[in-house]
């Protein structure tokens, strides 16, 4: 009798392990690696920032997460409604590596997250101000499934509690078609435009203690073609 | 014993799959929306930030006492004429329901004043204010775009400063953001 109970318990354990492995390595889950904007004929504005919290001007969360707020005395988001939210303020650089402006990023866990579908979702919104160009907001859903699979999990498995490598992945997963995020222009050369945007992560190092250590976020914003008569050229 | 092991494995698979399917991974805390319906004016919802308690960041160069303490704001000439602020945002019951950024900048073309509201359980809104305050008491603007609950809405917003008794730490009061958003016919079809 007791042997049967032990066998049943061991079976349940193995069954749970099988489910966990099958879900984690689900071969039917795919995520596009490259930006759909890579093939557009329109001008694309590229902006980059360091994902490491200590490189941000300000990074805050609930104060109990793996990544510590920065600077340490910043107000923390401990209230229940914002407990799963992070806010970071980043210096944005253009494609030549020059400082181009500031970006405030709000990101919250999404209740549409579905482990069975390979979707570890985050709803995020950017508030971007580029002093010489204008301002805009980017709204998107991000999928971190591949990030967890390829970086976070291997870091936990590693004896050194870290991950190193070269990893590039588009994390935007909607709400637009082809997983594109939406950008709405506010002022300057972005005034009035509604367009597509994509965010990708380029990672080189991650540690369990600090989170992303050497990781760059790359924003690509498609600029719609100028309408005839708006380019300033004589008609 | 072998049959028990097999039965256990099947039970474990079913239980694991059911748990993953039915138990939500993310369960966001939600507050009831406090909305007034105004005559011919759409839905009015008022948010506010209690100052100084709800202010997370004042992003301007060369502050004597930076907020947060330890902040190193870039001294780049690019940011000389701009001010970036972060707030926790509360509803009419004074409960924190989200976070918001406010960017103000002056320039030859008149400058900008913009808000992004992020309410994790509801969505986000991007609001463009007219830089010049009306009668120096309030500033008005329009919803530029929104996501989820705010997607497809149109409407206006006003911001105003409501002062209360200040202390040694500087001015105290409430930064109020009153929104009037309404759905469009296109959205309903």
Residues B152-163 have pLDDT tens digits of: 889 899 999 988
pLDDT of residue B188 exceeding 60, the answer is: no
Sign of CA dihedral A156, A159, A160, A164: negative
Confidence of residue B76 (pLDDT cuts 50, 70, 90): confident
CB A194 within 8 A of CB B145: yes
Confidence of residue B91 (pLDDT cuts 50, 70, 90): very high
| DSSP letter (8 states) at residue B49 | E
* Segments making up each domain of chain A, as ranges: 1-30, 33-222
Say how many CA atoms lie within 13 Å of B76 toward its Cβ. Answer: 17
pLDDT of residue B189 exceeding 50, the answer is: no
Contact pairs from chain A to chain B, CB under 8 Å? 227
State the smallest CA–CA distance between residue B131 and chain A in angstroms.
12
* Vertex A154 angle, CA A206 and A126, to 5°: 45
Q: What is the mean pLDDT of the segment spanning A103-113?
A: 95
Sign of CA dihedral B144, B145, B150, B154: positive
Q: Do B74 and A127 touch (CB under 8 A)?
A: no
Best probe of the A interface among B86, B95, B96, B122, by most A CBs < 10 A, is B86
Closest alpha carbon within chain B to A137: B126
By three-state DSSP, how is residue B2 classified? Answer: helix
Query: Average pLDDT over chain A, rounded to whole?
Result: 90
**Residue matched to tokens 């039917």:** A28
Query: Average pLDDT over chain B, rounded to whole?
Result: 87
Best probe of the B interface among A139, A141, A192, A195, by most B CBs < 10 A, is A139
Q: Which helix (H) or strand (E) holds B11?
A: helix B2-22
Look up the CATH number of the domain holding residue B145: 2.40.480
Residue A171 tokens, joined: 């994390």
- What is the per-residue pLDDT for A45? 94
What is the C-alpha radius of gyration for chain B, rounded to an integer number of angstroms?
23
**CATH code for the structural domain at A33-222:** 2.40.480
Closest alpha carbon within chain B to A60: B56
Measure the CA–CA gap between A78 and B49, rounded to whole angstroms. Answer: 16
**Percent over 90 (pLDDT), chain B:** 45
Number of domains making up chain B: 1
Measure the CA–CA gap between A194 and A222, rounded to whole angstroms. Answer: 10
Measure the CA–CA gap between A127 and A169, rounded to whole angstroms. Answer: 22
pLDDT of residue B41 exceeding 70, the answer is: no
3-state secondary structure string, chain A? CHHHHHHHHHHHHHHHHHHHHHHHCCCCCCCCCCCHHHHCCCCEEEEEEECCHHHCCEEECCCCCCCCCECCCCCCCCCHHHCCEEEEEEEEECCCCCEEEEEEEEEEECCCCECCCCECEEEEEEEEEECCCEEEEEEEEEECHHHHHHHHHHHHHCCCCEEEEEEEEECECCCCHHHCEEEEEEEECCCCCEEEEEEEEEEEEEECCCEEEEEEEEEEEECCCCCCCCCCCCC
CB A168 within 8 A of CB A147: no
Measure the CA–CA gap between A24 and A26, rounded to whole angstroms. Answer: 6
By three-state DSSP, how is residue B151 classified? Answer: coil
Measure the CA–CA gap between B28 and A83, rounded to whole angstroms. Answer: 8
Residue B25 lies inside a defined structural domain of this protein: no
Measure the CA–CA gap between B189 and B187, rounded to whole angstroms. Answer: 6
Other C-beta atoms closer than 10 Å to the C-beta of B52 total 15
* Vertex B8 angle, CA B4 and B12, to 5°: 175
Other C-beta atoms closer than 10 Å to the C-beta of A28 total 6
CB A141 within 8 A of CB A113: no
- What is the per-residue pLDDT for A235? 35
The reply to whether B93 touches chain A by the CB within 8 Å rule is no
Residue B108 lies inside a defined structural domain of this protein: yes
Q: From the list B6, B118, B148, which residue is nearest A106 (CB)?
A: B118
Q: Do A23 and B20 touch (CB under 8 A)?
A: yes
Residue B2 lies inside a defined structural domain of this protein: no
Using CB atoms and an 8 Å cut-off, which of residues 122-151 of chain B contact chain A? 123-124, 126, 128, 144-148
* Domain containing residue B68: 34-188
Q: From the list A5, A16, A123, which residue is nearest B16 (CB)?
A: A16
Q: Which helix (H) or strand (E) holds B153?
A: strand B153-167
- What is the per-residue pLDDT for B133? 75
Closest CA to A198 of A28, A29, A30, A40: A40
Residue B28 lies inside a defined structural domain of this protein: no
A191 CB-near residues (< 8 Å, 6+ apart): A134, A185
Chain B residues whose CB is inside 8 A of the A92 CB are none
Using CB atoms and an 8 Å cut-off, which of residues 59-118 of chain A contact chain B? 60, 71-75, 77, 79-85, 87, 89, 91, 99, 101-102, 104, 106, 108-111, 113-116
ipTM above 0.85, yes or no: yes
Q: What is the mean pLDDT of the segment spanning A30-36?
A: 75
Using CB atoms and an 8 Å cut-off, which of residues 60-79 of chain B contact chain A? 68-74, 76, 78-79
Closest alpha carbon within chain A to B147: A139
Residue B12 lies inside a defined structural domain of this protein: no
* Vertex B3 angle, CA B2 and B7, to 5°: 120
Confidence of residue A234 (pLDDT cuts 50, 70, 90): very low
Residue B6 lies inside a defined structural domain of this protein: no
Q: Do B99 and A85 touch (CB under 8 A)?
A: yes
Q: Do A14 and B12 touch (CB under 8 A)?
A: yes
Chain A residues whose CB is inside 8 A of the B28 CB are 81, 84, 108-109, 111
Instruction: Report helix angle B2-22 to A2-24, nearest 10.
Output: 40
Say how many CA atoms lie within 13 Å of A39 toward its Cβ. Answer: 3
- What is the per-residue pLDDT for B137? 78
**Residue A228 vs residue A134, higher pLDDT:** A134
Other C-beta atoms closer than 10 Å to the C-beta of A140 total 28
The reply to whether B97 touches chain A by the CB within 8 Å rule is yes
């Amino acid at each position: 009798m007791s042997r049967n109970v032990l066998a049943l318990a061991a079976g349940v354990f193995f069954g749970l392990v099988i489910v966990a492995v099958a879900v984690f390595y689900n071969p039917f889950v795919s995520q596009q690696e490259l930006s759909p904007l890579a093939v557009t004929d329109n001008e694309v504005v590229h902006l980059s920032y360091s994902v490491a919290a200590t490189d941000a001007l300000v990074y805050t969360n609930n104060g109990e997460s793996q990544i510590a707020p920065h600077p340490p005395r910043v107000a923390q988001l401990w209230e229940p409604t914002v407990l799963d939210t992070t806010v970071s303020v980043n210096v944005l650089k253009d494609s030549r590596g020059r400082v181009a402006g500031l970006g405030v990023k709000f990101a919250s866990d999404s209740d549409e997250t579905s482990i069975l579908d390979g979707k570890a979702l985050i709803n995020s919104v950017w508030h971007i101000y580029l002093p010489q160009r204008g301002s805009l907001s980017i709204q998107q859903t991000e999928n971190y499934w591949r990030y967890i699979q390829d970086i976070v999990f291997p870091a936990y498995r590693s004896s050194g509690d870290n991950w190193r490598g070269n990893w590039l992945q588009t994390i935007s997963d909607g709400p637009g078609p082809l997983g594109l995020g939406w950008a709405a222009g506010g002022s300057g050369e972005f005034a009035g435009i509604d367009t597509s945007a994509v965010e990708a992560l380029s990672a080189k190092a991650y540690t369990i203690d600090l989170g992303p250590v050497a990781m760059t976020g790359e924003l690509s914003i498609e600029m719609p073609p100028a309408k005839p008569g708006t380019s300033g050229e004589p008609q | 014993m072998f049959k028990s092991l097999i039965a256990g494995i099947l039970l474990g698979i079913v239980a694991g799959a059911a748990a993953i399917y039915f138990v939500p991974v993310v369960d966001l805390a939600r507050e009831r929306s406090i909305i007034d319906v105004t005559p011919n004016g759409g839905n009015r919802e008022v948010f506010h930030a209690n100052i100084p308690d709800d202010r997370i960041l004042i992003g301007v160069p060369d502050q004597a006492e930076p907020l947060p303490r330890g902040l190193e704001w870039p001294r780049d000439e690019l940011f000389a004429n701009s001010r970036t602020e972060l707030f926790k945002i509360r509803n009419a019951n004074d409960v924190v329901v989200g976070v918001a950024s406010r960017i103000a900048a002056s320039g030859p073309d008149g400058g900008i004043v913009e808000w992004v509201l992020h309410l994790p359980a509801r969505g986000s809104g991007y609001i463009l204010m007219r830089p010049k305050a009306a009668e120096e008491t309030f500033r008005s603007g329009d919803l530029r775009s929104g996501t989820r609950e705010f997607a497809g809405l149109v409407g206006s917003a006003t911001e105003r400063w409501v002062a209360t008794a200040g202390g040694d730490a500087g001015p105290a009061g409430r930064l109020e953001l009153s929104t009037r958003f309404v759905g469009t016919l296109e959205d309903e079809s």
